[in-house]
Amino acid sequence: MTTYKQAHKAEFEANKLAKFLFRMVGKAIADFNMIEDGDRVMVALSGGKDSHSLLDILLTLKERAPIDFEVIAVNLDQKQPGFPAEVLPVYLESRGVPFRIVEEDTYSIVKRVVPEGKTTCGLCSRLRRGVLYRVATELGATKIALGHHRDDILATLFLNMFFGGKLKAMPPKLVTDDGRHIVIRPLAYCPEKDLAAWAKHRAFPIIPCNLCGSQPNLQRQQIAEMLRDWDKRFPGRIETMFRALSAVVPSHLMDTKLYDFAGLRPSGQPEPDGDTAFDEEAVEDVSPQVVRFT
């Protein structure tokens, strides 16, 4: 039986978590100018914890924001076996959220084209992206909001380094390949564990992805496990690595497209990004106060 003290503590923790997530989403929106006055934001709602949290937070911020913008939820029914097609319409209607359910049998295409045992994520993602871009045009959406979070961004950085040989992460805001849409990721500053806690608190009707979840040992899962292990053993490391993504020094990397190494000449003046390769790095202890919500 839950005591008054336990209930009060749970309510306090939930309020603290809400304030943290709303602040992080609001900061990301402001930092990258993600949402502007008059925008029609199409939220890609998969039914997972992250997209549910994204929609929920944006709906709250919409009521509080000093600007006026619309939110419309879009779910792609990919015709996966056993997909509970009635769950999201019932939920969205109960919340009074404008929505569209798009039925496209991408599941059969993926299963037919991708050999058994091979990763389906690449093709599935491309097919889903194409459908979402088309629907965004039909709806007149000015922004497409996706539910990727801080841990997704870091995982993509390591995936590209380990397996792609690129120093490349996942941008918080981008223009689509066809140049017609802007994609935003308002959860860019939000830790996955906090979104999981929020989804549990809000009791969202979670729909698992059987197509992706049935593939063990995916590279992204391996990277995610590595990051969770680091977060557990070295508190603050994840926050520090994430902060590095916004503190890039091209002159201390090796990409000649980003920095003119060939054209370097002595100027006779002190250079703020000069050669400190042989100096002991003065690392300021700026480990953040790690916030935990359970």
Report the share of the chain in percent with pLDDT over 70: 87
Q: Return d(Cα 252, Cα 274) in angstroms, integer.
A: 9
**pLDDT tens column, 174-210:** 999 889 999 999 999 999 999 999 999 999 999 987 6
**Pairing relation of β-strands 99-103 and 182-184?**
unpaired
CB 104 within 8 A of CB 131: yes
Query: Which CATH number characterizes residue 129's domain?
Result: 3.40.50.620
Residue 158: CB atoms within 10 A of its CB come to 18
**What b/e string do you get for 78-88 counting C-beta neighbours within 10 Å, with b at 16 or more?**
bebeebeeeeb
Please, which contacts does 9-15 make with residues 24 or more away whose CB atoms are closer than 8 Å?
13/293, 13/294, 14/201
**Residues in CB range of 22: below 8 A, 6 or more apart:** 57, 60, 61
**Residue 290 pLDDT:** 40
Local structure of 161: helix, strand or coil: helix
**pLDDT tens column, 57-110:** 999 999 999 999 999 999 998 888 888 989 999 999 999 999 999 998 888 888
Local structure of 24: helix, strand or coil: helix
Local structure of 41: helix, strand or coil: strand
What is the number of domains present in the chain? 1
**Residue 291 pLDDT:** 41
**pLDDT tens column, 17-62:** 999 999 999 999 999 999 999 999 999 999 999 999 999 999 999 9
**pLDDT tens column, 211-238:** 555 555 578 889 999 999 999 999 999 9
pLDDT tier for residue 294 given thresholds of 50, 70 and 90: very low
Inform me whether the pLDDT recorded for 122 exceeds 60: yes
**Residue 286 pLDDT:** 45
- Position 47 in a domain: yes
Record the tokens describing residue 41, joined without a space: 């934001």
Higher per-residue confidence, 6 vs 278: 6
98 closest CA partner among 72, 76, 75, 74: 72
The torsion angles phi and psi of 83, rounded to 5 degrees, stand at -65, 125
Q: Return the amino acid letter for 16.
A: K
**Residue 2 pLDDT:** 60
Higher per-residue confidence, 165 vs 126: 165
Sign of the alpha-carbon dihedral angle for 103, 171, 238, 290: negative
Count the alpha carbons within 13 Å of 229 in the hemisphere toward its beta carbon. Answer: 6
Residue with tokens 């996955």: 192
Burial of 50 (0-12, 13-18, 19+ CB in 10 A): buried
Count the alpha carbons within 13 Å of 228 in the hemisphere toward its beta carbon. Answer: 9
- Look up the domain containing 96 and give its range: 8-240
Burial of 77 (0-12, 13-18, 19+ CB in 10 A): middle
The torsion angles phi and psi of 288, rounded to 5 degrees, stand at -75, 165
**Pairing relation of β-strands 40-44 and 70-77?**
parallel
Local structure of 118: helix, strand or coil: coil
The torsion angles phi and psi of 156, rounded to 5 degrees, stand at -65, -35
**Helix %, strand %, coil % of the chain (to 5):** 45, 10, 45
**Residue 32 pLDDT:** 98
- Position 108 in a domain: yes
Give the chain's largest Cα–Cα span.
75
**Residue 129 pLDDT:** 87
Inform me whether the pLDDT recorded for 173 exceeds 90: yes
Record the tokens describing residue 218, joined without a space: 């995916």
**Residue 145 pLDDT:** 98
**Residue 1 pLDDT:** 54
Residues in the chain: 294
- Position 77 in a domain: yes
- Position 262 in a domain: no
- Position 19 in a domain: yes
**Residue 293 pLDDT:** 37
Q: Return d(Cα 55, Cα 43) in angstroms, integer.
A: 6
pTM of the model: 0.87
